[in-house]
Amino acid sequence: MRKSLSFQSCVRYFKSIVLVLLFYPLTALGAQGHITVKGQSITIKEAIQLIEKNSNYVFFYNAADLKNIRLKNINCSGTIDKVLKEVFADTGITWMIQDNDVILKMSKTESVQQAKKAEVVGVVTDARTGEPVIGASIAIVGTSTGVITDIDGKFVIQANPQDVLKVSYVGYTTKEVKVGNRKVLTIDLAEDAQALEEVVVTAYGTGQKKASMVGSIQAIRPAELKVPSTNLSNSFAGRLAGVVAVQRTGRPGADGSDFWIRGISTLSGTTSPLIIIDGVQVSSADLNALDPEVIEGFSILKDATATAMYGTRGANGVMIVTTKSGQNLDKPIINFRVEGQVSQPTKTPKFVDGATYMELFNEAVKNDGSSDVLYSQDKINGTRMKLNPYVFPDVNWYDEMFNNIAFNEKVNFNIRGGGKKIDYFSSISVNHESGMLKNRSKDFFSYNNNIDVMRYAFQNNINAYLSKSSKLSVRLNVQLRDLREPNRGVDDIFADAMNTSPVESPVFYEPDGVTNHVKWGTTDRLITAYQGNPVAQLTTGYNDTFESTVIAAIEFEQKLDMLTKGLRFKALGTFKNWSKSVNKYSAGWNKYLLDSYQLNEDGSYSYTTSRVGNEVTTDLNNAIETAGDRRIYLEAMVDYNRTFGKHDVNAMLLYNQDELVNNVPSGDTGSQRLISSLPKRKQGLAGRFSYAYDGKYMAEVNMGYNGSENFAKGHRWGFFPSVALGYNISEESFFEPLRKVVTNMKLRGSWGLVGNDQIGGERFIYMPTINLSGKGFTTGIDQNYGLNGPVYTRYENNNITWEVGKKINLGVDLQLLNSLNIVVDIFRENRRNIFQKKGTIPTYLGTGSTDVYGNLAEMKNQGFDLSIDYNKAFSKDFYMNFKGTFTYAHNEITKYDEAPKYAFQSKVGQSANVTSGYLSNGLFLDEAEIDRYNQQMGSTLGAGDIKYINVSKMHGYDDDIVDVDDWTWIGNPSVPEIVYGFGPSFKYKKWDFSFFFQGVAKTSLFMSGFHPFGDNSLRNVLQFVANDRWSPTNQNVDAKYPRLTRKTSLNNTRTSDYWMRDGSFLKLKNMEIGYTLKRMRFYVSGSNLLTFSKFDLWDPEQGGGSGLKYPTQRVFNVGFQMTFNN
């Protein structure tokens, strides 16, 4: 019986094909240098044709020199030099090999004409930048003689003084130069505005000429993404118009930026853009791991015309990355780059010393009306005088745990080459990052507790040209990540260091010669479980994590010109597998308290300690966790691209399907694990038709038709069309008088729909959920009437469907004076069907404990983005470029199912990331003011406490009491509404220098979780609290911190604008200086070098909270890059 081909078998065959196609070209390339020529009484031209047929070499010669020369019988094989020696023996022909070009010439004795020729050396450079033009063609007009420039833009050619050299290269204006009596030529080529026609990667990897684009798409040069960071996303902020990006942490291996395209447009589900690398959907972590050296193209798709073809996946914008391919080169180009980095925190919170801490603690006790202070004056004095570190500890926990700097290294090696039949690009990158943690474990144990990240990335791309019309491409990306870190969360370690009292205990007590373990210091003053020794927590274990990601793609392309010119078929299959394993090692630690101490006659101190609880083992225990998933994606496309006179027509139809499977199902219950194990599947059709007339008038229609299993039957398919128009007004004849100033001007406009099926944060959100051990149907306002048994925790709603966004974009592309490029886009999106929990169902209906969800909310997002690019060559040796971007994106909720107590508390009209809280009015001066204010916020008030405004009365409600319902919306969104960047770059001869500023505005951060003391806390005190607080001796009602209290003050820790700060900042984000030798460039660079902000407690880019997390890093980088092709 014949068995059917299973899905698993298909996957195995797919992997086998990938491996065969990856390694077969290597053998083909190795055999390429062996050439065989056989023939009887053939001409020179016939011999040349045989060599060209069996190799990648191309011959240049003067046909007159070879006329009527016949060869004897030829039968030879070997390298090109060996074959040429035998073929051209006794003919008087000599040759020179330049890359994969062979230049033939007659010897002096054979040709009078040749005697007149001389060797001419030259170099071809870009007229604007001075960079060498690699691969430019230099041919003697009227002959077949020609050469190609090498990697330094140089060439050597035999020419007569009267010869004219024709110099050409794609994207440049062809130039003719008479040789004359010159032996050395310097030739600069100017960019051809018409021939350049930059091709930008658009939806599904198709290329589109920039001049004919009508969508809002930004392409960025890969060189602009090279910053001193191991995460690619840290180069986005301020460099990509329309992209909002912030770096919230400096944690090694996880310090990538959070980023959004044109801000946030939804309240539910994912807000991040779709990321595509070589046709494969990947995560932001996969993008961050990509080395800029392997990137060929990077495009941001922003409006509906650019993203509609992605249907359900393109609602939040799309990032498309293509990696480098090989080139037809005789000798491969090899590139090597190595960097060494030193990093340090940009800024960390500052805390008081031990003596000041105790004085402030006592002040808090007195402020509560008690005279029973905790710390005696002798204790304070002994600590200030540092009499004994065990009796009078004053521990700077930060210094005990963290170094001031960390060292990182980065290496990349890549090779690019190929021939007529096969070309290839291969890259290997190794990144090493270390953390700032001191290795305290080495003092007591055998392991290292510092963070250490090793990342390995392999990229191998191969194109096989099966025929003149067929191409097979294989792309393989492998990412390996080996991470060692403390078993306590890295951010928790920072919080521990700053949350712990500096005076309660030393790090550890002196060995007593009896116990065989470390006597870690601790305290018995805390009621909470945490026992106040972050160094002990740091050293008692570590996690060892290994992650691997394999991304493979096979693409077949077939031109169908035999059917009709311009028709093409392309098929793509991709496979992505991610796996993760974590070995967790942990142990306990023995805690000791100071029992008693005494002053000895010699002025020293003796003391005794006691262990807390029983002795615990310090042997490491082990646990293992695993995770992983795999994705298979298939795509088939037919497109048509044809020009009929002045008419340009393009059409495309594409089918795709996607499957994502969880390799390690997760969940707390069997049903959750079952759902987790089910494949996530999608299908879709996409289409595009575009038309352009005479380069002036452009129109484009796109559509996506997609299906998702995330919804019930009848709601799984969505149709997402778009339409766009463009008008290149500068091509009109009436524009001619302005063309000297306005070189180019194009107007664009688009409208379209986009979809989002990733809503609700879980799968099958339309289905009900049931708690089998809950209460049954309940009634009554107080929910006290019910029966035990199964209960719905979420009701079924089969009508839940897509979020749909309607996007409108208006844009203009300008080029002024042939050197200043300006692109401006104004955008607006209205998002409807946003998933939301219903908030207007009365509790007396009996649904108080059951959630009801639906497509209930709506919001709009609007703004504009701007990019400026200015290029100026002041001379052959001096060149300048200036780049700037500005993005403004403001979102606003326009519909929300809610029942607020006061109208001003409605979410409608507010931004998605705005905080709710109270409005403050300084601090209370004295008890008399408290009595007059009639404030009732659920806590006992005193002089120096925060005074709040009666917001409800301010809005006209009859309410004389300030209570917990007097909250409103405060501050700006936590995600910046404005992001901008600007900076120049200069090049003078062999030197280059650049710097770039980046900033954000219209954003707020809320300080929380840092308040000292409290009922169960001995948290340390930030220095700003000691410097500017209300106190009995400084009754400043405008102080930055209210009165200190030993009790937890609900009044003073409420969310309010008192703790809201302006999160705007301007950073010197990057600076670099470099020097280029013949084939090597040395450079020094840095990132996050300077920060200008009103907020100075920690780096404002980290956002709100307490600042007690791994800080963003200032990085200094030294590197060199070497390129050669011989």
pLDDT of 813-861, one tens digit each?
999 988 899 999 999 999 999 999 887 776 555 555 677 889 999 999 9
Q: What share of the chain is helix, strand, coil (3-state, %, to 5)?
A: 15, 45, 40
Distance CA 1009, CA 774 (A): 35
Q: The dihedral of CA 227, 231, 236, 238: what is its sign?
A: negative
Residue 355 CB burial class (10 angstroms; 0-12, 13-18, ≥19) = buried
Residue 807 in tokens: 């996007």
Mean pLDDT of 665-689: 81
Asked if pLDDT for residue 986 goes beyond 90, the answer is yes
| Mode of pairing for the β-strands spanning 118-126 and 184-189 | parallel
3 state DSSP class of 198:
coil
Q: How many helices (H) and strands (E) does the chain have?
A: 18, 54
Q: Rg of the chain's alpha carbons, rounded to an integer?
A: 35
For 665, how many CA atoms within 13 A lie in the half-sphere containing its CB?
A: 13
Asked if pLDDT for residue 653 goes beyond 90, the answer is yes
Asked if pLDDT for residue 1120 goes beyond 90, the answer is yes
Residue 559 in tokens: 């031109």
- The pLDDT assigned to 1092 comes to 97
More confident residue, 84 or 648: 648
> Do the Cβ atoms of 735 and 745 come closer than 8 Å?
yes
Nearest CA-CA partner of 837 in 821, 824, 849 = 849
Distance CA 143, CA 106 (A): 14
CA distances from 1014 to 365, 374, 967, 1017, 1044 (A): 10, 14, 24, 5, 9
3 state DSSP class of 879:
strand
Residue 925 in tokens: 């001066």
- The pLDDT assigned to 779 comes to 54
More confident residue, 938 or 1051: 1051
- Identify any residues that bridge with 218 across adjacent strands, giving them in sequence order: 300
CA distances from 341 to 336, 407, 427 (A): 17, 6, 21
What is the average pLDDT score of the chain?
Answer: 86
pLDDT of 1091-1108, one tens digit each?
999 999 999 999 998 888
- The pLDDT assigned to 572 comes to 96
Q: What percent of the chain has pLDDT over 90?
A: 48
- The pLDDT assigned to 774 comes to 67
pLDDT of 471-519, one tens digit each?
999 999 999 999 999 988 888 888 888 888 999 999 999 988 888 889 9
Cα-based angle 941, 944, 950 (whole degrees, multiple of 5): 60
Asked if pLDDT for residue 204 goes beyond 80, the answer is no
pLDDT of 224-283, one tens digit each?
877 777 788 888 888 999 999 999 998 998 888 888 999 999 988 788 899 999 988 898
Which band of pLDDT confidence, cut at 50, 70 and 90, is reported for residue 32?
A: very low
Asked if pLDDT for residue 199 goes beyond 70, the answer is no
Q: Which domains does the chain have, with CATH numbers?
A: 17-107 (3.55.50.30), 215-316 (no CATH), 766-799 (no CATH)
CA distances from 748 to 212, 213, 698, 867 (A): 10, 9, 9, 15
pLDDT of 98-123, one tens digit each?
667 788 877 654 444 444 567 888 88
- The pLDDT assigned to 431 comes to 95
Which band of pLDDT confidence, cut at 50, 70 and 90, is reported for residue 784?
A: low
Residue 733 CB burial class (10 angstroms; 0-12, 13-18, ≥19) = exposed
Distance CA 542, CA 620 (A): 9
Look-up: residue for tokens 């806390």? Answer: 1017
Which band of pLDDT confidence, cut at 50, 70 and 90, is reported for residue 9?
A: very low
Residue 718 in tokens: 């969505």
Which band of pLDDT confidence, cut at 50, 70 and 90, is reported for residue 127?
A: confident
Q: The dihedral of CA 532, 538, 540, 546: what is its sign?
A: positive
Q: How many angstroms separate the first and last alpha carbons of the chain?
A: 58
Look-up: residue for tokens 């745990």? Answer: 401
Which band of pLDDT confidence, cut at 50, 70 and 90, is reported for residue 698?
A: very high
Distance CA 726, CA 802 (A): 30
- The pLDDT assigned to 691 comes to 94
DSSP secondary structure code for residue 675 in this structure: H
DSSP string for residues in 513-534: SS-SS--EE--S---SS--S-H
Mean pLDDT of 761-780: 72
> Do the Cβ atoms of 521 and 391 come closer than 8 Å?
no
Distance CA 244, CA 240 (A): 8
- The pLDDT assigned to 734 comes to 92
More confident residue, 164 or 547: 547
Nearest CA-CA partner of 363 in 1042, 1016, 1053, 1059 = 1042
pLDDT of 442-472, one tens digit each?
777 778 889 999 999 999 999 999 998 999 9
Distance CA 466, CA 458 (A): 25
- The pLDDT assigned to 101 comes to 74
Residue 370 CB burial class (10 angstroms; 0-12, 13-18, ≥19) = exposed
> Do the Cβ atoms of 552 and 574 come closer than 8 Å?
yes
- Selection from 288-297, 350-359, 870-879 with the highest mean pLDDT: 350-359
Residue 100: CB atoms within 10 Å: 18
For 353, left (φ over 0), alpha (ψ -120 to 50), or beta? beta
- The pLDDT assigned to 8 comes to 45
Mean pLDDT of 134-159: 80
| Mode of pairing for the β-strands spanning 274-277 and 280-282 | antiparallel
141-150, 156-165, 339-348, 991-1000: least confidently modelled range: 141-150
> Do the Cβ atoms of 865 and 260 come closer than 8 Å?
no
- Selection from 76-85, 218-227, 330-339 with the highest mean pLDDT: 330-339
- Identify any residues that bridge with 565 across adjacent strands, giving them in sequence order: none
Mean pLDDT of 771-789: 61
What is the pTM (predicted TM-score) of this model? 0.82
Total residues belonging to the chain: 1126
Which band of pLDDT confidence, cut at 50, 70 and 90, is reported for residue 79?
A: confident
Which band of pLDDT confidence, cut at 50, 70 and 90, is reported for residue 741?
A: very high
Cα-based angle 1059, 1063, 1066 (whole degrees, multiple of 5): 150
Asked if pLDDT for residue 193 goes beyond 60, the answer is no
Residue 236: CB atoms within 10 Å: 25
Beta carbons within 8 Å of 259's beta carbon, 6+ residues apart = 233, 236, 237, 243, 244, 245, 246, 272, 273, 284
Residue 821 in tokens: 């490029």
For 99, left (φ over 0), alpha (ψ -120 to 50), or beta? left
Which band of pLDDT confidence, cut at 50, 70 and 90, is reported for residue 14?
A: very low
Mean pLDDT of 46-55: 80
